[in-house]
Every structure is written in C-alpha cells, then in structure tokens.
Amino acid sequence: MIPHTQQILADPARGDGHDAEGRPGDCWKACVASLLDVQDYDSVPHFVALEDWWGETVKYVWAETGKSLRKWRDPAFIPEGLDYFIGTGPSPRGDFYHAVIVDRDGNLVHDPHPSRLGILAVEDYFAPLPVEAP
C-alpha cells in the first residue's frame, strides 16, 4: 500500500465535501491509488468528478488488477488474504462521506486527508476481489 495524500480538499465553509471551486474532494482517488500501489498519482482519474464514478472506478480497478471492485457493509464478510481495504464513512470535517484505508479490523491505516483524522465510523468496505467462476 502506497500512501497518497489527496490534492483537492473540501472547503470548510461549504461543508459538502467540495472545494471552493465546487470540485469534489479526491479522497476516493487517493485511496484507489494507495490500495492499488499506483506510483503516479496523476495517472489515476478523479473518479468522483465523473458522471458514472462507480462504473469508471470498477473499470479502472479491473484494468489494473484483473479483479472486480466489490462493496460490502458487514465487517464479518472480509475475505481471507486481504490486509487493506477502502473504508468510507462520515467525515469529521463536515456533513459528507470520506474515504480512508483500513485494516481487517476496521482500524485506520491511512487517511489521505492532510489532517489524518480518519472517519467517524466505517460504514462501507471496498476491495478488488477475484471473480468467481460460474
């Protein structure tokens, strides 16, 4: 896991996860880059700024890993053989969601925001998983 720091930060005056120019923060991009060990941060798209951010993220993860990006809520589902995950949940900086890297127990491993405060709680987990044969 290569820790990347997000480059677009939420404007506290807005309180909605967007910067002063209205661009969504890029914590998701930073987490995808970190989780996939991408060296060049600028080579990763700013997914959340795209209309179909989830579909574009899934396609990117597939192209990089040959695995399918999956989402789940139940921490008991965590698959064997994986150490790190993207965790999302409420941000401590406003009324919006934030993405971080967590371990198998939901502990903060890396927060891409410069404050490194993490999230208030992990509500969703994301990770690239092998596609099961039918």
- 2-14 pLDDT, tens digit per residue, is 999 999 999 988 8
Which pair of structure tokens corresponds to residue 80? 């064997």
**Which residue type is seen at 93?**
R
Could you tell me what percent of the chain has a pLDDT over 70? 98
Which pair of structure tokens corresponds to residue 26? 């890029």
pTM of the predicted model as reported, rounded to 2 decimal places: 0.92
Q: Exposed e or buried b for every residue in 80-117, given b needs 16+ CB within 10 A?
A: eeeebbbbbbebebbebbbbbbbbeeeeebbbbbeeee
Strands lying side by side in the sheet with 108-110: 68-72, 124-129, 84-90, 97-103, 108-110
